[in-house]
Amino acid sequence: MVSKLFRIGTLFANRYRIEGRLGEGAMGAVYRVRDIDVGEEVALKALTAGLVRREQALARFRREVRLSRRVTHRNVVRMHDIGQYDEIHYLTMELIDGFALDAVLAERDRLAPSQALDIAVQVAHGLAAAHAAGVIHRDLKPSNILLERSYVEGRGGRVVVTDFGIARSLAAEMDGAQTQGAIGTPHFMAPEQVEGKDVDARTDIYALGGVLYQMLTGKLAFAEKTPLATAMARLSREAPDPRDTVPLPDALAEHVLQCLAREPAGRPVSAELLAQELAHVAASSQISGLAATQIEMPISAGPLNPVASGFDQTAVQDHPPGSSVSFGKPASSRGRTPTLPTGRSLAVLPFRVRGPREDLDAVGDAVSDELIDVLSRTRGVRVFASSATARFRETRDPTHIGGELGADVVVDGTLQGSGERVRLSARMIDVHSGVQTWSERFDGRYEDIFQLQEEMSLRIAEALRVELVRSDAVSLDAAAIEAYAQARARIRATEYVGHDGAQKHFERCLELAPKFKPALAGYAMSCVLAWFEPDGSVTTTSGARARDAVAHALSEAPELPETHLADATLASNDGDYERTADALARALELAPSYAMALGYLGMLQSEAGRIDAGVSRLEMAYRLDPQLTVSLWSLARLHALRGEYDLYEGLMEQAAAAGRATHAGHIMLQIRVASWRGDMARLEELSSNIQLTDDVSAGLLMIYSAGLRGEMDLGDADRMLSGALPAFINQRFATLACQLACEFFMMGDRIDLAERWLKEAVDRVLVDMAWLDLCPLLEPLRQRAGFAQMRRVVKGRAEAFWGRSARVAPHV
């Protein structure tokens, strides 16, 4: 029931259009949604069934939410609403486009004093507003502090605090405990929380002191071998002086130590007073004279939802700061990105089984083996086989293991089971420093355990790949890096040609850095894509340019997945679907979570009749990269072919909200679906949006819509299309033009012409079994004598692709 209610494009509670899944935890799943009543994007949390089944627990949760709604301050994430729909309890809150502080610290290690103070002052103001409303946070930590993207980019913006009180009430229900002091994260818990005493505003001040200490020094004030030892350490000794780690002005260090006083009476009396004092320190000559550096965005920069950035962390308190708490399908910028330079070695330990499910031992070993298999395909990383790590099942000391194996990094994982639920956790530890550099957790049903493991493997492997690719660009000058970044952005936006298109930006980058391999691969991809979507700047030489660029990339950058995706796309344009599958397999062997490759594979699989598999990969691609609007269009087309028009409309609205409403591909799909449904009024409306340009797609649409409206003689249209077809040297685009012509003449009741154009498509490179079997306009054609033979030809191509692409399945 829940999965259907939260499919992308679905309208939940008659108000919230589901746009994407951001994560899942023990307390529920998080979705990015559009509130159609107010026309804004918000975050929606659907609580886990049974979590608030007791009326007392539900009443307490509602009280906490109502209390949190009192807090209205620019430095606090705004809580919107709480409700129930179809037995599902949910809440909505402000959606933040930015980054969690823990992700920033994972990149920067520590911040300049001026930056750390500015963040701390804004957090203190947010805490002061909450305290004035009678709300205590109780679990403040870097992952609950969000920096808006504009703030990180130096364009103003806010620092905001999230998750006031709500995690506390739900954690108590999950643990069967009373919500007194002992709720929090060990590294930032105040002594009174450890002892289970009453908490007040000064408890949050202590946690802010711990966060400020970490921002300034790059270290935790208290960090023992176990969470319990970490929590207890603050009861037996004072916090360390940050000046013992880094040089700091005395006034700043003394404020940090005051916040970390063991006794509440020794701390600042209020968060507002602390904000004023820290602002005074920030304005002093000692701070203003210190050099400040730009805050770097996390490598995995992407939209971050506040609900997915710490909401569930109180449920499991044994993870250090910086740990990701996105469950199941993590948000794109959750978790620390691994910092493994090229050539380092990695050992995956056998997964430990926790809890009463002893039958999971064999499953734990299988999960470890699969993780080793995926990571071993990551460029630049040497992974030890499971036979080398099996003897360390009981010994988990990274230093010892590193010495025995010569490993630089250890991945340690656990598997927990309770009833029908399981949790997979993995963490990455640098052997030489002992620092945990990355972690994530995934929750789900026991029957989905290998899907969870698969996603965990993909996240680790992709994070490693991104880091290694980034290391290639270290020696480039700023102009080359900027051109490369602009080109990548244009690729995602499907803007390939023109003075500001992806091709031009890649060319600028390669002029400055002709041997930069990621740009060589990207340029090949942009040339192939430009050849498929021709406009006035695309000439008969475009195909040759695409082939030359792909050949050059295969020669100079064969280790990059982007190279093989370009090769796969070129092969599909030629109708060589076996080579397409082989190249896609290679791309996804190199990078199992490469979103563009997953999306392209999903599109072709769904066209070739493997719709469920295709949908799964398209949805995964969009989750990994929400800028891939083309995946939304592919999903929308499939839903329309299946007659699921509500889902189709939702996805198209989502694409339009992303700024793609005027794109020829967007309008083309809308016009086609309107014709499938026989909606002439909608066709008339859409036709007015077509702009007469040099874009060939727009020209086809002009003919298509004019003929459907009776403004063009069908015979003239047939002659125009026949005359234009030889110019389409890209076979896949020419096939699409034939499909459009077939639909066009079916709408005009010219079944003879429609059948001829269908045969033309089949004689070229048609592989679209989904369209052939499901398009409602083709129903009369399916009764014709020649249809069965044409279908056999197309199915033969599809089966060739299925056979080759089947070997991709284990990796994605």
- Give the separation between CA 726 and CA 734, rounded to whole angstroms: 8
| Nearest alpha-carbon partner for 398 in 437, 360, 361 | 437
CA distance 177 to 169: 10
Q: How far apart are alpha carbons 527 and 544 in whole angstroms?
A: 10
Task: For residue 45, give both structure tokens.
Answer: 């949390």
Active-site annotation holds for 139: yes
DSSP state of 297: P
Q: Are 146 and 98 in contact (CB under 8 A)?
A: yes
> Of 544, 646, 569, 577, nearest to 797 (Cα)?
577
CA distance 241 to 244: 6
Q: How many CB atoms within 10 Å of residue 764?
A: 19
Answer for the pair 256, 212: CB distance below 8 angstroms, yes or no.
Answer: yes
Phi-psi region of 779 (alpha: psi -120 to 50; beta: other; left: phi over 0): alpha
From residue 348, alpha-carbon distances to 338, 392, 455, 575 in Å are 14, 10, 16, 41
How many angstroms separate the CA atoms of 136 and 322, rounded? 22
Per-residue tokens: 719: 């002659």
Residues 6+ apart with CB under 8 A from 289: none
Which residues in 289-309 are b (16+ Cβ under 10 Å) and which e?
Answer: eeeeeebebbbbbbbbbbbbb
Residue 529 contacts by C-beta under 8 Å, 6 or more apart in sequence? Answer: 491, 494, 496, 502, 569
DSSP characters for 216-228? HHSS-SS--SSHH
Residue 733 is inside which H or E element, if any? helix 731-747
Q: CA 699 → CA 441, 687, 690, 695, 721, distances in Å? A: 50, 12, 9, 7, 10
Asked whether the CA dihedral 780, 782, 783, 785 is positive or negative, the reply is: positive
214 by Cβ neighbours in 10 Å (0-12 / 13-18 / 19+) ranks as buried
Catalytic residue among 102, 118, 139, 412: 139
Catalytically active residues are 139
